[in-house]
């Protein structure tokens, strides 16, 4: 593998996916890849960051959607992290708009973003146990559902 950040991509395909080109980055190289996407490819705005829990593979995939304000096709790139130790580097330094969206992925999926300036729950209260968007989160009989366990 080269030391050039642009070559740290493990998959790059011109195939369209909802009108976006897809890239996949190793989690350790995510900030370097993001800088290449922003500075060399011109994608200056993060429009969406979301996560997908792949229970069968034991991974959480974080997907970043970016656009160029100058125009052109949008771009999506992703990084995977193990479910049992879900950690990725924060991209707030590259795209400040990632701050709120990383907090959401942390709160709902349990992904820890190393280097995030204010990583704390955003929707749920501090004493809430678990991450409700994970596929193994209990959907019935949960102690947080009104009336659960009450006679």
| Residues 62-107: tens digit of each pLDDT | 999 999 999 988 999 999 999 999 999 999 999 999 999 999 999 9
Flag whether 37 is in a domain. Answer: yes
| Count of the separate structural domains present in the chain | 1
Q: Per-residue pLDDT for 55 more than 70?
A: yes
If one compares 10 and 122, the residue with the highest pLDDT of the two is 122
CA atoms of 136 and 150, how far apart (whole Å): 23
25 Rama sector, left if φ>0, alpha if ψ -120 to 50, beta otherwise: beta
- Residues 34-44 pLDDT 10s: 999 999 999 99
Residue 2: per-residue pLDDT: 47
Supply the CATH number for residue 89's domain.
3.30.460.80
| Residue 84: domain span | 5-114
Least Cα distance to 8 among 22, 54, 20, 30 occurs for 30
Least Cα distance to 78 among 55, 96, 105 occurs for 105
Share of the chain above pLDDT 70, in %: 77
Indicate the burial class of 51 (C-beta count within 10 angstroms; 0-12, 13-18, 19 or more): buried
DSSP, residue by residue, 76-101: EEEEEEEGGG-EEE--TTT-TTHHHH
Using a cut of 0.85, tell me whether the model's pTM lies above it. Answer: no
Flag whether 135 is in a domain. Answer: no
């Amino acid at each position: 593998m080269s030391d050039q950040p642009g070559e740290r991509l493990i998959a790059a395909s011109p195939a369209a996916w909802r009108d976006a080109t897809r890239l996949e980055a190793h989690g350790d190289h995510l900030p370097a890849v993001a800088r290449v996407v922003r500075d060399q490819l011109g994608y200056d705005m993060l429009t969406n960051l979301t996560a997908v829990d792949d229970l069968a593979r034991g991974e959480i995939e974080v997907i970043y959607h970016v656009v160029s304000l100058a125009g052109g096709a949008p771009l999506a790139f992703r990084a995977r992290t193990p479910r049992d130790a879900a950690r990725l580097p924060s991209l707030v330094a590259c795209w400040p708009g990632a701050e709120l969206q990383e907090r959401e992925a942390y709160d709902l999926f349990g992904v820890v973003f190393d280097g995030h300036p204010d990583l704390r729950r955003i929707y749920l209260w501090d004493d809430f146990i678990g991450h409700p968007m994970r596929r193994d989160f209990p959907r019935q009989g949960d102690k947080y559902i009104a009336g659960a366990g009450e006679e």
